[in-house]
Amino acid sequence: MSMEPTAQSSGNTFSIIAIVLGALSFLFLPIILGPASIVLAIVGKNKKEKLSTVALIVAILGTVVGLIIGAIVGATMFS
C-alpha cells in the first residue's frame, strides 16, 4: 500500500468562493465584496471551472443590486 499523493481534479474552488462573495455583496459591503467576487469568477473562468459562468453572473448582479440597495437605504436614512 503506497501513500503517493494523487492528482486532484481542478474543482470549482474559485467559482464557489465567488458565488458566496457575490451573494453576500447583495447586503454587506458591495463595494468591496463585489469586485472581489468578480475577480475570483474571472480567475475561475480562466481555469475553465464549470461554475465560472454562474459565479460571474452572481458576482455582477450582487454588486449592482447591492449598490442600488445601498443607495436607496442611504438616501432614505439621510433625507
* Grid cell of 47 as nine digits: 481555469
What was the pLDDT predicted at 61?
A: 95
| CB-count burial class (<10 Å; 0-12, 13-18, 19+) for 79 | exposed
pTM of the entire predicted model: 0.80
Domain boundaries, the chain: 22-77
Higher pLDDT, 75 or 1: 75
Out of 10-14, 26-30, 37-41, 49-53, pick the least confident: 10-14
Angle at 62 between CA 21 and CA 76, to 5 degrees: 120
pLDDT, tens only, 31-79: 999 999 999 999 999 999 899 999 999 999 999 999 999 999 989 998 7
